Structure 1
Amino acid sequence: MANLNWSGIFPAMLTPFHENGELNLEMLSVNIEAQLAAGIHGLILAGSLGEASTLTTDEKFELLAYTLKVVNGRVPVLLNLTENTTKAAVEFAKRAEQEGADGLMVLPPMRYKGDDREVVAYFKAIAQSSALPILVYNNPVDYATYISLDMFEELLQEPTIQAVKESTRDLTNITRLRNRFGDRLKILGGVDTIFLESIALGADGIVGGLVDAFPKETYAIYDLVKKGELEKALEIYRWFMPLLELDIHPKLVQYIKLAASKVDLSTPFTRAPRLELVGEEKEAITKIIDDALASRPQL
């Protein structure tokens, strides 16, 4: 079993499409290179922002194979696992290991909201099925399942369960996790609008959304907080906040793809049921992005 270095910035990568809905791998490689040039520390494929819900399993593995080729060992590449059944989840984990993923981000069971015992059993079955390091995604706001400290105590009996994507939106949880587990559980802040605070409170890193469009600014904030230069970090963060708020909306995919397309790091196209932005909504979001670009800080 490999131990992953869970520190730093892990973009939840967009999945760029052509206008006809096919994967746009060329654009993906443009974005990957921009992320690596900015100094990010790992990539997560086919998450919620990567439109996992509209990708086939084979497409997820196509993204993995392509990304591994582009990255060529420069940073770890994680694949998101989001399944309805334990059987499918175990098969997916085994295939991810065979096809070269460096780790997994794992969501609780989809569609059925398990109780604590069922959710723990689900994660443990996945952990026991492959040697891949696991990032547990704790997001009760969007996925209705809260993974408690007592549940993590059980999960950490599995050596492959190493980290949490902390998306409870409750900043005190970072301190509770740290007090309870010390360094046994690595913590990645998972909410863009509190990512500076998460790092300042001692999170090991972040899983970001707007980093897809603004990798350099995201890295600068992370780096400055780590160096203790909070004033400088805050200056960039205050500029960034209207953009970061695009991440906590049901249409985060459309919004972040629009932002990334404005800086030539994605196409704006999504797959149905997501539709193209129109009318006042499109104007409002475009204005937020254009205003930010007009006042973009000199790093």
Structure 2
Amino acid sequence: MAIDWKGVMPAVTTKFTKDDTLDLKMFEININAQLKAGVHGIILGGTLGEASTLTDDEKRTLVKTTVDIVKDKVPVIINIAEQTTKGAIEAAKKAKEDGASGLMMLPPMRYKAGDRETVMYFKEVAKSTDLPIMVYNNPVDYKIEVSLDMFEELLVLDNIQAVKESTRDISNITRIKNRFGDRLKILSGVDTLALESLLMGADGWVAGLVDAFPEETVAIYELQKAGRIKEAIAIYRWFLPLLELDINPKLVQNIKLAEVATGIGTEYVRPPRLPLVGDERKKVLEIIETGLKTRPQLPKYKNIELVD
């Protein structure tokens, strides 16, 4: 399935049972809520998906299950976060076999690769597959930045097509557009900078709080796209305290609590992560409860026409 690299693409959480096995029933409930809201793709196995704790078999099960659920309505993308080039190539091969439409790729894990090594890593994986690739550029959390000069080298490969822009530097969107035009699609990877990024020319939003609030997230995207900026800003201002739960070391626990509150998830996480307790839990719940009490009434945001 072709990927346009635009719109809202949830970085979905992985659902677990209390016995620490995959909860595919609740996972399906959440995926269907995303589809009903009008998302444009599903991303599996990212930070929110607790990728570092998943076995290869579990990742493959998630891809196959999601492909079966979405039935070609939207593309299914799996994140690759490997320590070796060989491991990343094997992960890409499995993704293709399991029906994934594309890949999101982090630089090498653990080892802080230099620029030349990072470029070679992405190139070797890209040459090994025909799946389209979105580079996940998050130097804040993963300590390696993919610079514009590095993208210049990477873009000689046709299947490197997009970047999940998580540098936290809004002006980087303009730099990318000025240098590469539409050759490199841009998806904002930071919830608290998403609307600003879209207004500066980003093509989409890899979202986190969408896992609990899919309709509000898609509404913001569709309204700004249609030129109804004031309406998008109003929803975004309501959303911001919730979106800030995504820029926190406990983002997985935070967002899973929000999913519980909206009825489309559980709070089970895989150790060493543990559910929130005490004052930390109380504070997060207060933010969620306030958001629910003041939840805005959404306009009919699907299939809206561009404002002249």
Letter aligned with residue 200 of structure 1? L
- Which residue in the other structure is 1:116 paired with? 115
Correspondence for 1:288: 287
**Which residue of 2 is the match for residue 278 of structure 1?**
277
In 2, the alpha carbon distance for the partners of 1:279 and 1:3 equals: 46
Q: Report matched runs for 1:84-99 at 5 Å.
A: 84-99=83-98
For 1:268, give the aligned amino acid.
Answer: E
Partner residue, 1:184: 183
Q: Which amino acid aligns with 2:230?
A: E
Matched AA of 2:53? T
In the alignment, what sits opposite 1:80?
A: 79
Moved over 2 A (4+): none
- Give the match for residue 304 of structure 2: none
The answer as to 2:128 corresponding to 1:139 is: no
Mapping for residues 242-253 of structure 1, pairs under 5 Å? 242-253=241-252
Report deviation, 1:158: 0.8
Deviation at 1:265, TM superposition (A): 1.0
Distance 1:3 1:230 in 2: 29
**What residue in structure 2 maps to residue 269 of structure 1?**
268
User: How far apart are the structure 2 equivalents of 1:3 and 1:173?
Assistant: 26
What residue identity is the alignment partner of 2:290? D
Q: In 2, Cα distance between the equivalents of 1:229 and 1:120?
A: 40
> Residue deviations 1:60-83, cap 9 Å, x none?
000001110111111000011010
**In the alignment, which residue of structure 2 is the partner of 1:206?**
205
Deviation at 1:229, TM superposition (A): 1.2
Shift of 1:57: 1.0
Distance 2:110 2:6 in 1: 31
> AA paired with 2:279?
E
- Give the distance between the partners of 1:244 and 1:99, measured in 2 at CA: 32
Cα displacement string for residues 256-299 of structure 1 (whole angstroms, at most 9, x for unaligned residues): 00001111111101011101111000000000000100110011
1:3, distance to aligned residue in structure 2 (A): 4.6
Matched, 1:127 2:92: no
Alignment RMSD: 0.7
2:253–2:267 Cα contact (<8 Å) kept: yes
Deviations along 1:162-193, whole A, 9 cap, x unmatched? 00000000000000000000010000000000
**What residue identity is the alignment partner of 2:158?**
P
Deviation at 1:118, TM superposition (A): 0.2
Total equivalences in the alignment: 298
In 1: Cα distance, 2:68 partner to 2:229 partner: 37
**TM-score, scaled relative to structure 1:** 0.99
Distance 2:284 2:198 in 1: 27
d(CA) in 1 for partners of 2:49, 2:3: 22
Q: Which residue of 2 aligns with 1:38?
A: 37
The amino acid that maps onto 1:278 is V
Task: State the identity %.
Answer: 60
Structure 2 match to 1:23: 22
TM-score (normalised: structure 2): 0.96
Counterpart code for 2:54? L
* Partners of 2:7 and 2:204 within 8 A in 1: yes
Q: Which residue matches 2:257?
A: 258
1:233 matches 2:232? yes
Offset of residue 25 of structure 1? 0.5
Q: Distance in 2 between matches of 1:73 and 1:276?
A: 34
Where does residue 301 of structure 2 map in the other structure? Answer: none
SS of 1:44's partner is strand
Aligned counterparts of 2:39 and 2:85: Cα–Cα separation in 1: 32
SS at structure 1 position matched to 2:8: strand
